[in-house]
Amino acid sequence: MPVYEYTCMDCKKVVSLLIRRIGDDVQPACPECGGTDVHRLISSFAFHQSQVSKFEQLDPKYEKMVDAANPDLSFESLVKKYKLDRPNSKREE
């Protein structure tokens, strides 16, 4: 059920009302003063972004900027430090 914002012309307040169906002919009443002279407002809306869409909006140079900020944590230095460019050898027991 949607929540709509109305402005009451009697008490000059903006109120949020839960409307069961858009097609209802019932005139909503102000919960503050009980007045029926209310007008529906055009409200803003919000949406939730997934992590994937947030990552897609990052600057393509972001990884390079992070690497430049801390060279010790760059991909290349971690590969060299932990020898990730070499195949794993089995430990001799």
Residue 69 pLDDT > 50: yes
34 in the same domain as 8: yes
- pLDDT value, residue 93: 45
Half-sphere exposure of 17 (CA within 13 A, CB side): 24
The structural domain count of the chain equals 2
SS3 letters for 61-88?
A: CHHHHHHHHCHHHCHHHHHHHCCCCCCC
What would the pLDDT profile of 18-52 be if each residue is shown by its tens digit? 776 666 667 788 888 888 898 888 877 777 888 88
The whole domain housing 11 covers 3-40
pLDDT at site 82: 87
In a domain, 19, yes or no: yes
Residue 33 in domain: yes
User: Does residue 87 fall inside a structural domain?
Assistant: no
